[in-house]
Amino acid sequence: MLRTIALALLLANCLYFAWGNGMLRPLGFGPVQQSEPQHMAQQIAPGSVRLLSAEEFRQIEEQVKAEQSPKECLQAGPFNEAQSAALRKVLGDSLPADAWTLEAAPVAPRWIVYLGKYTNAEALAKKRSELAAMNLKAESLENPALEPGLSLGGFDKRAEADAALLQLSARGLHTARVVQESAGSSAYLLRLPAIGAALKPKLPDIRAVLGAKALHACN
């Protein structure tokens, strides 16, 4: 009896071994297939996967934070052709190509109420004092050909400048006249549409070639 039981157990073990290893599949018996070979086929270059070092992970984390930081739009200008050429070189060396633009912007003629030319710096300083006593503020000239002289206001239209001159004459200023400080021309406006933490360290290099044109928030 015991011998029969032992033989039955041995036969059962052999059958289970054969079933578990798929040997009985031709006969229609076998465990459910658990492997998913299609997942292996979907892997992309599994050999290129590598673990990052702590320093590499820190650098990537900082880069992601910088890219997700709040961004602001800055602009400056207008700039003439020569200034724009210098700007393009610095911008190309400092910023990605999609981080800046130099947009063409027509510049209207500029008319000013003008005082000058004066013979020397002493005469210029004396006139400044006279204007201050009349509560009039003189502005700097943008056209070197009119130096040494003073401006009492700039206007896009000649008629506006003439009207301002009449008002000044009524206040007792009779030595001023209207002149055209600059003719209409084409200029360029620098625009930095999305400056975030990653690009802000580059701004000092750009400001160095802006001259008197400061960066400010976009309109």
For residue 150, count other CB atoms closer than 10 A to its CB.
24
In this structure, are 73 and 177 located in the same domain? no
Residue 186 has a pLDDT of: 77
Which contacts (CB < 8 Å, 24+ apart) does range 154-158 have?
Answer: 154/110, 154/111, 154/112, 154/181, 155/110, 155/111, 155/112, 156/108, 156/109, 156/110, 156/111, 157/111, 158/111
3-state secondary structure of 74: strand
Q: How many domains does the chain have?
A: 2
Residues 205 and 156 in one domain: no
Alpha-carbon distance of 151 to 141, in angstroms, equals 6
CA–CA distances in Å: residue 131 to residues 61, 96, 122, 139, 142: 60, 49, 14, 11, 20
Domain match, 132 and 150 both: yes
Considering the domain boundaries, does residue 13 fall inside one? no
Mean pLDDT by 10 residues, the chain (219 residues): 67 63 62 58 65 75 66 86 88 88 86 95 94 92 92 94 96 94 86 84 85 85
pLDDT of residue 4: 74
Look up the domain containing 209 and give its range: 65-106+185-217
80: domain CATH number is 3.30.70
Supply the pLDDT for residue 14. 65
Note whether 90 and 120 are within 8 A (CB): no
DSSP string spanning 92-148? HHHS-GGG-EEEEEEE--EEEEEEE--SSHHHHHHHHHHHHHTT---B--S-GGG-S
In residues, how long is the chain? 219
Same domain membership, residue 127 and residue 71: no
Are 99 and 192 contained in the same domain?
yes
Whether residues 102 and 190 share a domain: the answer is yes
> Is position 120 within any domain?
yes
How many Cβ atoms from other residues are within 10 Å of residue 165's Cβ? 20
Exposed, middle or buried, 154 (CB in 10 Å: 0-12/13-18/19+)?
middle
Q: How many whole angstroms from its chain centre is CA 176?
A: 44
What pLDDT, on the 0 to 100 scale, is given for residue 123?
94
Q: Is the pTM of this model over 0.75?
A: no
Q: Residue 184: what pLDDT?
A: 77
